[in-house]
Amino acid sequence: MKAEHKTREMVCIVCPMGCRLTVTVKDEDVTVEGNRCQRGEIYGREEILAPKRIVTATCRLRDPAHPRLPVRTDNALPYEHIQSLLGDIYELSIETPVKAGDVLIENYKGTGISILAARSVPGD
Amino acid sequence: MRTETVDTLVIGGGAAGMSAAATLDSRGYSVALVERDDELGGVLLQCIHNGFGLQEFDEELTGPEYAERWIRTIGDTSIRVFCSTTIMEINLLEDGKKECFGYSSRHGVLRFLARTVVLAMGCRERNRGNIMIPGTRPAGVYTAGLAQRLVNINGYIPGKDVVIVGSGDIGLIMARRMQWVGSTVHGVIEIQPYPSGLTRNISQCLHDFKIPLYLSHIISRIHGRDRIEAVDVTPLRNGVPDYSQTFRLTCDTLLLSVGLVPENELSKQVGIELNPLTGGPLVDSMLMTNIEGVFSAGNVLHVHDLVDYVSAEARLAGEKVADYLEGKRPQREIRIKPGANVKYVNPTRIDPDGQSEIYLRPLVVSNNIYLTISLNGEVIKKQKKPHVQPSEMIKMTLTPKLFQQVEAGQEAQMEVALKDES
């Protein structure tokens, strides 16, 4: 990794406490201040180096009573892939029957993250 | 007309209704579960974001996934489910039974004869009329939950340029959702000086998209003839609008996320007494309303911020209904009232001889405050809370040990307060 130096203020989203973190990257060292627990340090570190989010959306479903199927990533996806993933989800068109947990897109762009159906629709 | 005779009629097939019904079935009672939508699940079906189930299932699920777990549980029981059916009338018969009429596109008119009723109708959104925004009445003004349903269930995008009123969690979640369907959110306007949603939602739904949050601001006018074209935003100075600082945001859609109210039209019609602090029925330690045999749980009782709490409360209601059907009644009850910095406590009475779950809503944002329980003026329990805020309800378990000093027959009153170091 290239040597860099930056400081960012952020709010920890791990639990409702909402600790205000100051995260500093100097060369390859990351320091997290303001956290009240270990999880806050992990969050601050990930958030500044490679932020990730669970993505939930809907895609087209070929069922007259349920035109949209809710979908989710099975784990948090690196931030930079979110927009393109949403585009790909909106291109999907799923036939019934579908079951919650069915894999709709596997290992998205080699991230290891898959996109799953979030509900079952039996169809006729 | 078909008549269904059951031990319990549960009105509402969302998180609360399914949980109460499942509990009653497991205790061996016959249950009819009535839902006005075409399938069970309630509002969970449109809440496609994750964050549900950490307490109930020890997993972070989306709304539809959380609903589906319960729907499967219901499917494994002998509960009679009536979807597409709306209960319009409850009559109290002389023998104590409840006669309820349901109207259904699927089943026609249904008559239910039940020994007990559980009200689990949930809540509804406050709307433009409730906050009285001046201006024209164009299209494009929606409550956030309605927009959520349009996007997530029906697949319609209500507009491209969005302003959101209120920083409650539904509004924040919808801000992210609108961005993710390709619309732009130009701002969230909050009348309070602090956000009313969870901090994590401010972070992941607003900061991630650089959406400005205007605290201590109001929408002072809506512009547009057929379709909304813009809103005027005015800052508050010492609680009063400072019109000299008004600015305009162009938009084609305004979403309102300005609070929820328990849906109690049916309750009022039968003469159920409501708690002005919660908008829900006044209930005793069995979660029973002032009408013998009519119980209540979930968002119709008081608005919860976690569905897990709704499921837990309704499970308790189910147990209490079963106890009631077995003829069990509390020997005595202690009244509870909200003290300093507490908006309300639910239920308003508890049975000191059994374990009770109480829920309270704070009035303040504070770190390191003490939750203090006093009985007839004397402190009996103190618990340090690292962080409280109005958007996060506090749940608490009380054991009979706490009330040993109260003698049978003695009049006792408990107060729950949030106090700084004392």
Whether residues A32 and A64 share a domain: the answer is no
**What is the spatial distance between Cα B186 and Cα B180, in angstroms, rounded to a whole number?**
14
In sequence order, the 6+-apart residues with CB closer than 8 A to the CB of B286 are: B295, B320, B321, B323, B324, B329, B330, B351
pLDDT (average), residues A46-74: 95
pLDDT at B16: 98
- With respect to residue A72, please indicate whether it lies within any of the assigned structural domains: yes
Per-residue HEC secondary structure of chain B comes to: CEEEEEEEEEECCCHHHHHHHHHHHHCCCCEEEECCCCCCCHHHHHCCCEEECCCCCCCCEEHHHHHHHHHHHHHCCCCEEECCEEEEEEEECCCCCEEEEEEECCCEEEEEEEEEEEECCCEEECCHHHHCCCECCCECEEEHHHHHHHHHHHCCCCCCEEEEECCCHHHHHHHHHHHHCCCEEEEEECCCCCCCCCHHHHHHHHHHHCCCEECCEEEEEEECCCECCEEEEEEEECCEECHHHCEEEECCEEEECCCEEECCHHHHHHCCCECCCCCCECCCCCCECCCCCEEECHHHCCCCCCHHHHHHHHHHHHHHHHHHHCCCCCCCCEEEEECCCEEEEECCEECCCCCEEEEEEECCCEEEEEEEEEECCEEEEEEEEEEECCCCCEEEEECHHHHCCCCCCCCCEEEEEEECCC
B62 contacts on A by Cβ (under 8 Å): 56, 70, 72, 118
Q: What is the pLDDT of residue A4?
A: 65
Nearest to B200 among A18, A58, A66 (CB): A18
CB contact, 8 Å: A37 with chain B? no
Helix (H) or strand (E) holding A23: strand A20-27
**Sign of the torsion formed by the C-alpha atoms of A78, A84, A86 and A91:** negative
Residue B366 in contact with partner chain A when CB distance is under 8 A: no
Phi, psi of B344, deg, nearest 5:
-155, 160
Long-range contacts of A65-69 (CB under 8 A, 24+ apart): A65/B38, A66/A121, A66/B153, A67/B153, A67/B154, A67/B155, A68/B152, A68/B153, A68/B154, A68/B155, A69/A94, A69/A98, A69/A117, A69/A118, A69/A119, A69/A121
One domain, residues A66 and A107? yes
In the prediction, which pLDDT does B358 show? 92
User: Does a structural domain hold residue A111?
Assistant: yes
Same structural domain, A67 and A106: yes
Task: Tell me the CATH number at A67.
Answer: 3.10.530.10
Q: Whole-angstrom Cα distance, residue B291 to residue B295?
A: 8
- One domain for residues A37 and A60: no
- With an 8 Å Cβ cutoff, is B152 touching chain A? yes
Query: Which DSSP symbol is given to A65?
Result: T
CB B68 to CB A100 under 8 A? yes
Which residue range is the domain that position A34 belongs to? 4-49
Do A45 and A77 sit in the same domain of this protein? no
A38 and A69 housed in the same domain: no
Cβ A16–B154 below 8 Å, yes or no? Answer: no
- Return residues 213-252 of B near A (CB < 8 Å): none
* CB of B206 less than 8 A from some CB of A: no
pLDDT for B5 equals: 98
Q: Are residues A106 and A60 in the same domain?
A: yes
Same domain, A80 and A40: no
Is-cis flag, bond preceding B347, omega within 30?
Answer: yes
> Residue B235 is encoded by which pair of tokens?
């800052």
**A13 touching chain B per CB within 8 A:** yes
On whether any CB of chain B is under 8 Å from the CB of A75, the answer is no
Cα-to-chain-centroid distance, residue A108: 12
User: Over the stretch A73-111, which tens digit does the pLDDT of each residue have?
Assistant: 999 999 999 999 999 999 999 999 999 999 999 999 999
Residue from the list A17, A72, A100 with its beta carbon closest to the beta carbon of B386: A17
- The answer to whether the Cβ–Cβ distance between A18 and B180 falls below 8 Å is no
Confidence of residue A16 (pLDDT cuts 50, 70, 90): low
Specify if A39 maps to a domain. yes
In this complex, is the C-beta atom of B68 within 8 Å of any C-beta atom belonging to chain A? yes
Query: What is the greatest pairwise CA distance in chain A?
Result: 60
Return the pLDDT at B53: 92
Of A49, A70, A86, the position where a domain reaches its end is A49
Measure in Å the smallest separation between the Cα of A33 and chain B Cα atoms. Answer: 18
Chain-centroid distance, C-alpha B114: 25
Q: How far apart are CA B72 and CA B185, in angstroms?
A: 37
- Domain presence at residue A124: no
Q: Do B155 and A65 touch (CB under 8 A)?
A: no
Question: What is the tally of structural domains in chain A?
Answer: 2
* B387·A17 Cβ contact <8 A: yes
Tokens of B296: 């209540």
Inter-chain CB proximity B392 and A72 less than 8 Å: no
CB contact under 8 A, B64 and A54: no
A88 and A35, same structural domain? no
Q: Does the N-terminal peptide bond of residue A122 adopt cis geometry, omega within 30 degrees of 0? A: no
Residue A16 with chain B: CB contacts under 8 Å = 198-200, 387, 389, 392
User: What ipTM, to 2 d.p.?
Assistant: 0.91
Residues of chain A positioned with their CB less than 8 A from the CB of B50: 54, 56, 72
Q: Would A123 be classed as within a structural domain? A: no
- A62, A43: one domain: no
Same domain, A41 and A60: no
Using the Cβ of A94 and the Cβ atoms of chain B, whether some distance falls under 8 Å is answered with no
Name which of A56, A84, A85, A116 to mutate to probe chain B: the one with the most chain B Cβ atoms within 10 A of its Cβ: A56
User: Of A49, A69, A84, which residue is a domain's last?
Assistant: A49
Helix (H, G, I), strand (E, B) or coil at A64: coil
pLDDT 10s per residue in chain B (422 long)?
899 999 999 999 999 999 999 999 999 999 999 999 999 999 999 999 998 998 899 888 999 999 999 999 999 999 999 999 999 999 999 999 999 999 999 999 999 999 999 999 999 999 998 888 999 999 999 999 999 999 999 999 999 999 999 998 899 999 999 999 999 999 999 999 988 888 788 889 999 999 999 999 999 999 999 999 999 999 999 999 999 999 999 999 999 999 999 999 999 999 999 999 999 999 999 999 999 999 999 999 999 988 999 999 999 999 999 999 999 999 888 999 999 999 999 999 999 888 888 999 999 888 889 999 999 888 988 999 888 888 888 988 999 988 887 776 667 788 999 998 75
Q: In A, which residues are within 8 Å of B63 by CB distance?
A: 70
The answer to whether B78 and B331 are in contact (CB under 8 A) is no
| Interchain CB distance below 8 Å, B68 and A119 | yes
Regarding whether A111 and A75 lie in a shared domain, the answer is yes
**pLDDT at position B157:** 97
| From A14, A72, A120, residue closest to B68, measured CB to CB | A120
Distance (Å, rounded) from C-alpha B340 to C-alpha B356? 21
B392 contacts A16? CB cut-off 8 A: yes
| Residue B251 φ then ψ, to 5° | -160, 160
- Is-contact B219 B129, C-beta < 8 A? no
Minimum-distance CB partner of B155 among A10, A55, A68: A68
- The one-letter amino acid code at B28 reads G
Q: Is A109 on the interface with B (CB under 8 A)?
A: no
pLDDT for A101 equals 97
Min Cα separation A93/chain B (Å): 13
Which chain B residues are Cβ-neighbours of A63 within 8 angstroms?
Answer: none
Q: What is the pLDDT of residue B287?
A: 96
Q: Which domains does chain B have, with CATH numbers?
A: 2-123+261-329 (3.50.50.60), 127-258 (3.50.50.60), 336-419 (2.60.40)
pTM (2 d.p.): 0.93
Report if residue A122 sits inside a domain. no
Are B154 and A18 an interchain contact pair (Cβ–Cβ within 8 Å)?
no
